[in-house]
Amino acid sequence: MEKLVVKGGKKLCGEVNISGAKNAAVAIIPAAILVDGVCTIENVPDIKDVHVIVQILEEMGATARFLDRYTLELDCRTLHTQTAPGEMVRKMRASYYLLGALLGRYHAANVTMPGGCYFGPRPIDQHIKGFEAMGATVRQDGDMIVARAETLRGSSIYLDAVSVGATMNIMLAAVLAEGTTVIENVAKEPHIVDLANFLNAMGANVKGAGTDVIRIRGVKKLAGGSYSIIPDQIEAGTFMVAAAATGGDVLVKNIIPKHMESVSAKLSEIGAMVTEYDDSIRVVGSEKIASVNIKTLPYPGFPTDMQPQFVALLSVASGNSLVTEGVWDNRFQYIGELLRLGARIRVDGKTAFITGVDHLEGAPVCATDLRGGAGMVIAGLMAHGQTEITDLDHIDRGYEKMEEKFQALGADIVRVSY
């Protein structure tokens, strides 16, 4: 097994290049099932979740090869089954996109209930509601979801929860359906727009992604082509927070600053200097970190996936901060680990009450989930002494060579086997 050993107290300085977006990649890769041709997907992040979804497709018969570290050539015309391998599917959340893509292309999908980070129950009722509105029948057989359709017809669907997954999954099912599908109250995250752009680049007719209503006019077929994935908004935010947390000076490169607005605004409020350029943002930390209140919301609100990183930062702010989780029922498991480092945080329901302490003190902790793990790394970078972080599988699912990027900024962080 491996752990990260962090010796805190180094100011991060320099430049960091941000990889392609995980939550776009894990939807765009299975979307290739809908394509009658070869897809060349660029700026694919080199992370575990990507390798798992590619392996799932390969086991189902797809032909996949990396032309270089970040360019994936994928041909799903050779798929020989509509059943996804259960053991692999359980390794990640985004395997639910196989449902929409297989249903859209073959009118049949058998996919095990997906895995991923645990934040309380993670229902997929809105995905299923969308498939059923289009004429599919969906039933659960053990832990397998079985979806079938004679034909898929465009329909009007109003989402009861603003769901990233349901929005993208229904888009996948609709691009080859007969007629027009209108999805209302959809999620507006940058990766929704990216999936729509990918599908349109392959010949789909998807309009309105990034607004509250998406209209998809079904087309007969999608042809192959090339597409480049957007930069990862959450990886960028994680490095921006780390720069502010260590009083450093970091240029976060290869990003879309517009996607970072809520994060940039909060970093300015805590006293960091944030300067936007065309495709990069510089963050210069201040001596003192001011306390702030945060509520996570669907995009363009403050992202839930940046909540643990900010809580780690605010644990040493001067004064009291309130952080309210507005997306997930239970996304504070990692706080028990922060307490081991000396943070003073009380959780009541969906709100964390943070009393800033003078400093954190290094200790052994674990990554309870992907972003909770990122929060632990930031805490370790700020703490006095040595912090050891175990359960790196979570971090590796979504961050590409995280410790190498931090080392290049001057952090004292190493990965060791034990």
What residue ranges bind ligand EPU (CB under 6 A)? 23, 26, 93-94, 117, 122-127, 161, 163-166, 187, 304-305, 327-328, 370-371, 398
Q: Which of 39, 76, 117, 366 is catalytic?
A: 117
Buried/exposed 373-412: b ≥16 CB within 10 Å, e otherwise: bbbbbbbbbbbeeebbbbbbebbbbbbbebbebbeebebe
The CA distance from 30 to 53, in Å, is 7
CB nearer ligand EPU, residue 47 or residue 413 = 47
Query: Residue 47 CB, nearest distance to ligand EPU (Å)?
Result: 11
Concerning whether 117 is annotated as a catalytic residue, the answer is yes
Burial category of 24 from C-beta neighbours within 10 Å (exposed 0-12, middle 13-18, buried 19 and up): buried
CB nearer ligand EPU, residue 187 or residue 367 = 187
CB nearer ligand EPU, residue 163 or residue 264 = 163
- How many CB atoms sit inside 10 A of residue 165's CB? 23
Query: Residue 42 CB, nearest distance to ligand EPU (Å)?
Result: 20
Of all residues in this chain, which one has the CB nearest to ligand EPU in the complex?
Answer: 165
CB nearer ligand EPU, residue 187 or residue 230 = 187
Looking up tokens 């994936």 gives 72
Q: Which two tokens stand for residue 341?
A: 């480092």
Query: Residue 49 CB, nearest distance to ligand EPU (Å)?
Result: 8
Query: Residue 33 CB, nearest distance to ligand EPU (Å)?
Result: 17
Contacts of 90 (CB under 8 A, 6+ apart): 112, 113, 114, 115
CA 326 to chain centroid, in Å, comes to: 17
CB nearer ligand EPU, residue 29 or residue 166 = 166
- Which of these, 261, 358, 345, 253, lies nearest to 306 by C-alpha position? 261
CA 361 to chain centroid, in Å, comes to: 29
The CA distance from 169 to 413, in Å, is 38
The CA distance from 30 to 313, in Å, is 36
Q: Are strands 213-217 and 225-228 parallel, antiparallel or unpaired?
A: unpaired
Looking up tokens 């032309």 gives 67
Query: Residue 93 CB, nearest distance to ligand EPU (Å)?
Result: 5
Query: Residue 159 CB, nearest distance to ligand EPU (Å)?
Result: 8
CB nearer ligand EPU, residue 75 or residue 194 = 194
State the catalytic residues. 117
